[in-house]
């Protein structure tokens, strides 16, 4: 098991998927990060040297990911609600925010906008 930024990853897992498992890190960031640290696309977590693991942890800790990013998104939505903006009201009503149709197919918006917004 390799310990990266508070998470244990099995040694057989691809580095690419391990990095992408963090909230806020997608394929683009993963590709750039792996290129910066000279890690091959098909490298496994167990094959990384200790220095590479430390460098990877340092790079990830400098990014806004996981709980910090979640809190930032929540604060942005709360700011929109407090301001009384149209987008904030749509979030509060659990309706589509970006102009999607509401005659049908609003179930997905209701699921996504269910983040705790009333307190």
What is the model's pLDDT at position 113?
A: 75
Cα three-residue angle 119-6-3, rounded to 5 degrees: 165
Tell me the pLDDT tens digit for each residue of 15-50.
Answer: 999 999 999 999 999 999 999 999 999 999 999 999
Q: Which residues pair with 2 in a beta bridge?
A: 9
What is the model's pLDDT at position 44?
A: 96
What is the model's pLDDT at position 119?
A: 47
Whether the predicted pLDDT of 117 surpasses 60: no
**81 contact partners, CB below 8 Å, separation of at least 6:** 88, 89, 91, 92, 117
Its pTM stands at 0.79
| Percent of all residues in the chain with a pLDDT value above 90, rounded to a whole number | 71
Residue whose token pair is 């983040």: 115
């Amino acid at each position: 098991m390799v310990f990266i930024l508070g998470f244990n990853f099995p040694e057989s897992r691809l580095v690419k998927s391990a990095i992408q498992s963090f909230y806020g890190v997608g394929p683009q960031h993963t590709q750039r990060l792996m290129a910066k640290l000279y890690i091959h696309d098909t490298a496994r977590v167990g094959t990384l040297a200790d220095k590479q693991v430390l460098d990877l942890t340092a790079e990830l800790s400098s990014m806004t990911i996981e709980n910090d990013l979640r809190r930032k998104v929540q604060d942005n939505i709360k700011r929109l609600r407090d301001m009384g903006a149209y987008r904030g009201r749509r979030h509060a009503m659990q309706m589509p925010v970006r102009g999607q149709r509401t005659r049908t197919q609003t179930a997905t918006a209701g699921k996504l906008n269910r983040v705790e917004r009333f307190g």
